[in-house]
Structure formats: C-alpha cells, structure tokens
Amino acid sequence: MAQRLLLLLLLAAALAAAPASAFPGPAGPDLQTQREAFLKARVQAEAGRWEGVEPWLGVLEDYPLVPDLRAAWLDANLGPETDQEVSRFLASHDDLAFARGLRYRWALSLARREAWDTYLELYESSYPDGGDAVLRCHALTARISTGREAGLRDEALEMWLSPVSQPDACDPAFTWLEEQGALTSQRRTQRMELALDAGEFRLARWLARPLGTAAVAEVDRWTGMRAEPAARLADPDAYPDTDAERALVVYGFRRLASEDPERAADLWPAYDRQLSFSAADRDRTLRRIALIHAWRHLPGARQALEALPPEAHDDDTRAWTVRTLLREEDWAAALEALQALPPTQQQEPAWRYWRARMLDVTGAADQARPLFEALAGERGYHSFLSADRIGAEYAWGYAPTPAREDVIAALADRPDIRRTRELFYTGEESRGRVEWTRAMRRLSPEEQAQASILASRWGWYSQAISTASSSGLRNDLELRFPLPWRPVFEDRSRRAGIPSTWAYGIARSESLFMPDVVSRAGAVGLMQLMPATGRQTARSAGIPYRGRVTLTDPEANVTLGTTYLSSMLARFANNRVLATAAYNAGPHRVEQWLPETGPLDADVWVETVPFSETRGYVRRVLASEAVFNWRMSGETLRLTEVMQPVPPRP
C-alpha cells in the first residue's frame, strides 16, 4: 500500500510539473488540472477517506474517472453499511475495468461476514460458471447454512475429488460431507490415487493416514520414486504386473527421463518385456524419453526418435526429428523427415525455409531458389534469411494508414475512449487496456484502424501496435514498430555499446512498450527485468535502485536493460544470437545449448533451441531489429550480418 501511495504521489508531482504540451490529444490546462486533482483524490479514496475526496469533486465535474474514486472508496470500506451501495454501483458500472476486482472482493467480504443470502444472490448472478474454487466453496457453505441442499452432496463431492489441495474456503463443505458419511474409504482411496498421479504427495499422505499403514506405505513408495527414480527402478523383478505397480513404474520413468534420459532408455526395454503396459502408457513413456534426448541434444537423440513406433509419434516428435538431423547436419535425412510433417505444418514459414535450405545444401539449388524467392517476397525472420540466401532486397511492404481526422475526432470524443485515455494518463494503464479492448469490440474495422492512430498519437504504443495488427494494418510499420523514448534508447544504447535498434527489438518483443507490465515470472517494465537482475545491474549501471518504482520508470528500465544486454553480449563474445537468447532464457541455459564439437550455423542453432518460447523470441527480436534499423536509417541490416556462427561449448 505504501509503495502504491508513493507511485501515485510521484505521478501527481510529475503531472503538476509538466507543461500543458506534455499531454497529447485534447488535453489542455483544464484537463491537466483535473488529472492532477484526480490523482490526489485517488490517494484519499484508496485510503477510505471520502472526506479527503470531496474537496476535489468540484474540479472533477464531468471528468471520466470520477466513478473510479467511488469504486476505490467502496473497496476500502466493504461491509454491511455499504453492501447496498456496492450492489447499485456495480449494476451501473458493470462494464468498467474496476468492476471485476470490486465484485470479487465484495464477494469475499460477504463470505467473511457470513451474509449468505446476499452472497448467493451475487454468486448465482455473477459467477454462474463456478470457475473460481474459493467462490464456489463459499457458495457450498452458503447453501449448507441456508438449507438449500438439493444436489449439494454431488457438487461438494465433485470439489472434494480433486487431485490437488483445495482452498481453506472449502473446509466447511468438506466437514459437512464427512458428517454426511460421504467420505468413504473407497472415495479417499480414489482421491489418493488421483493425487499420486498428479504428483501431489502431501495431499496423498494426508488422505492415506485414515486408510491405514498400507496406504501410507504406498504413498511412501511414490515419494521414494520421485526422490530417486534410478535406484527404485534398478530391478524390474521388484514390480508385479498389476495396475497399481504399472502406474508407479510409468511415473518413475517420467521422473527418470527428466533426471537421466539415457539411463531411462537403457532400463525401459526390460520393463516393457516384463509388464503389460497399455499402448498409451508405452507410447507416452517412449515419446518423453526421446524428446528429452532431443531437447538436450544427447548423442542418442536420433536413435531414440527413429525407434519410436509410428503410433507413438506426434507433431512434436516429428518436428524434433527434423531439428535433430539439422543439428547433426544430415541434410538429406532431414529433408526426408520434413516430408513426414503434417501438410499444414510444412506450409509454415519455418519449414518452407528449411525445405529450401535442405534442397540447396543437397545440390538441388534449382529447386531451392523458387522457394527462397517466394519467402523473400514476405516480411519476417525466415523471409529475411531467404532474401539473404539469394541476395534479394528485403520486402518491407510499408503501407502507411491514411488518417481520417473526422473519424479520429469522433472516436476521441466517445465516452468509452475518453475513459481509456484518462486511465492511461493517470497510471492505470492495465485497466485502460481492458477497457480499450472492450471498446474496440464496439467499433467497425475502419474505426479500429483509426483508433490505432489515435492511440499512437497519445503515446499509448502497446494499444497502437495490437490494434493495428488486429485490424489488418500489418504493413503500417510506423504504427506497429514505433520509436518511443527514442533519445533515451539511443543514449543508453550508446553508453552500453550496443545498437539502439537491437534494444528496440528487445523492448518491443518483451513488453510492446508497456512500462508497467509484469510477466507471470515477475519480470517488470519495458525491457522486462527480473527484480534481482535489476538490483544487480543497477550497481554496474551506477543508478539507484528502488524496486518496482525503478523498474517501471522508462528511463531507468532502459538503462538497466541495455546494460544487462551489453553484459550478455560480452559474456558470449559479441555473438548477438546467443546474447539475445540469454536475455530471454538466461545465460546458463544458453551455455548448455552450445554445440559439443564444432561451430554451428546460427540459423540451425536457433531452430534447435529447446524452448519454443526462446526460439520464437530470438526470431522475433532479430526480425524486429531489422525493421527498426530500416525505420531509423533507411538502410537494410541483413540478418546474416548479425548471425555469426555459434561456437562450440568451451
């Protein structure tokens, strides 16, 4: 809460210090004053002090975000005194971004207070799909408490029979099931087996205790298999041919394949001869062993993939068969394996490129050239590589979108669009994105195209990019590859000794230029830095580090991001491909992915990166850098100029 207040106060101070020209679009002095007033009032509203909000309401008359102040105040004052107002407020503002969070926290407040009639009314009207386990369990408790027990037993059992632990909110309903005699030994055994299969051993042990020592011993065997699969699987004769034993063995091989795939490959044939596995279990086990061999580039990868029976293959194993052969530079075999990919997959740009590469290397240049030419007529990573192969110009295909000022003016005056603009300017960009997406659904394709121009004029680059792409403006490179904070990117990149076009490619791929975005892994800001990386890099960059405040500040984030990117470039001997991959996946993983023997062509190395996310990321960054270079200089930066061969592991 303290950090949130600090951020709001800093933003208010920045707005107060900025001239009117700092606000693009229709923002004049009056609107600037309203923004400053709103930020100060929001601090009071979030603290639950409406008396601190009231002095600002006169200035804020007709300001689009006034409802947000009341929502913040209600959120801070949930209780019996505000229940009716919350209900009316949500009914009037259901389509606004704050409604979802306020409604959820109100539901939890009602459950804590055991206001079960109101809770059920809210739950049944707002959460009919029952997707949230906490709310669903509170609804079960509410029905028990209000005597609405029709069908309750079956619904509660459905929640209880879960392979994972359920929230504490489910405890009253599960206690009720116990009192009803519904949690029989058979059902406990069933859930224990589900938990074991899911690897939820703490839950399995808790379920086993009432079942006796045999059940606890069974959980202990699974726990031991997880901890030391190689030792537990050393003797195939130790496992009789029963359903339970086969399930344990299959789990063990899943663990062993991750820990030591070569040992798993050695042990599996003896088990396969001794136990009557189902075809599904056999195929799944063999597929996992083969894929992990391929992902780790182990010597037996090719043999493991080629030994798979036809029915065990899927799209992943077929693709990794091709990649493994590429890594071995067996071009003829790779071309043959590519023919086994599904036809739709073969038409993807990646496989079209590799077909041409394979034909070219195997002496069929006359067949390869038309394929390269067709790809070179498009725009993207594989198209740029194809153009390099035949010495063709890059097909930029730039087509700017004509601005229709009448449409843009009408859009800017729409209440829903005005709200998104103010959410963006007052630091609620994530909520603004939610409402912008909803607003776009109400517009025609032509209006969406003009809306992307409007967002760009505001400096809301993430929405300009996403809206331009979704509305078919894929060739408007000005909208889709903007140059925000250009002086900052150019200055910090120069200090770090790296091209600003590369830094732009990283930032666009990481965040679409959203300064506030936080990834699922916890990376923050324009160039998506983990807090620990930011703290460490701040020392070498010579700037103070204040946690998320620093990471969400564009200038500080770009300083840290370019500094860290430069360190990756130095670590990998100026190899741009490896440094890009390291920025995404971490340097230790990239070092593990280096070839064992001689150097490898950079395009082959990228194609055989084990993580699909990193593979796509490197392609996207390199292609984006080429576009940014063309936009900033008018010159073509060829991918082959920055894709030097990948050296072997030291």
Q: How far apart are CA 496 and CA 493, in angstroms?
A: 5
Q: Is 542 left (phi over 0), alpha (psi -120 to 50) or beta?
A: left
Q: How far apart are CA 590 and CA 261, in angstroms?
A: 20
Work out the widest C-alpha separation in the chain, in whole angstroms: 83
CB 420 within 8 A of CB 439: yes
Q: Is 104 exposed, middle or buried (0-12, 13-18, 19+ CB in 10 A)?
A: middle
Q: How far apart are CA 506 and CA 584, in angstroms?
A: 9
Position 67: which residue type? P
The residues carrying an active-site annotation are: 510
The CA angle 233-239-244, to the nearest 5 degrees, is: 105
C-beta pairs of 35-41 under 8 Å, 24+ apart in sequence? 35/422, 35/425, 35/426, 36/12, 37/63, 38/63, 38/65, 38/69, 38/422, 38/426, 39/8, 39/9, 39/11, 39/12, 39/15, 39/426, 39/427, 40/12, 41/69
CB 492 within 8 A of CB 502: no
3-state secondary structure 532-565: HHHHHHHHHHCCCCCCHHHHCCHHHHHHHHHHHH
Q: How far apart are CA 419 and CA 521, in angstroms?
A: 30
Q: Is 473 exposed, middle or buried (0-12, 13-18, 19+ CB in 10 A)?
A: buried
Q: What are phi and psi of 476, to 5 degrees?
A: -85, 85
Q: Please give the structure tokens belonging to residue 509.
A: 């791929």
Nearest to 381 by CA among 639, 575, 582: 639
Q: How far apart are CA 367 and CA 534, in angstroms?
A: 50
State which H helix or E strand residue 37 sits in. helix 29-46
Alpha helices by DSSP H, 260-361: 261-274, 279-295, 301-306, 315-327, 331-338, 343-346, 349-361
* 33 alpha carbon, distance to own chain's centre: 37
DSSP lists the bridge partners of residue 529 as 524
Q: Is 238 exposed, middle or buried (0-12, 13-18, 19+ CB in 10 A)?
A: exposed
Q: How far apart are CA 603 and CA 643, in angstroms?
A: 8
CB 583 within 8 A of CB 506: yes
